[in-house]
Amino acid sequence: MLNNIGLPGLLLIAVVVLVLFGRGKISNLMGEVGKGITAFKKGVNDGTKEIEENASQAAKDITPETEKDKA
């Protein structure tokens, strides 16, 4: 169904959305979408770093379990 829209249809949809919501509201919405994407990327990077740190700590710690409690 969406394959038949084409460029003129997309332009018409864009004009209708612009008229209904106004330029200011659309720019605010796009700004919020951008902030959301940035926060998502930051969260993914933080999660990846945390996993790597946990893996590196597990790889470094070769002390037997019985000796860990004595320290």
Q: pLDDT averaged over the chain?
A: 83
pTM exceeding 0.95: no
Q: Over the stretch 11-25, which tens digit does the pLDDT of each residue have?
A: 999 899 888 888 888
Q: Is 2 exposed, middle or buried (0-12, 13-18, 19+ CB in 10 A)?
A: exposed
What per-residue confidence (pLDDT) applies to 61? Answer: 63
Query: Domain map of the chain by residue range?
Result: 22-58
Instruction: For residues 59 and 66, give the distance between their C-alpha atoms in angstroms, rounded to a whole number.
Output: 18
- Percent pLDDT > 90 in the chain is 31
pLDDT-based confidence at residue 59 (cuts at 50, 70, 90): low
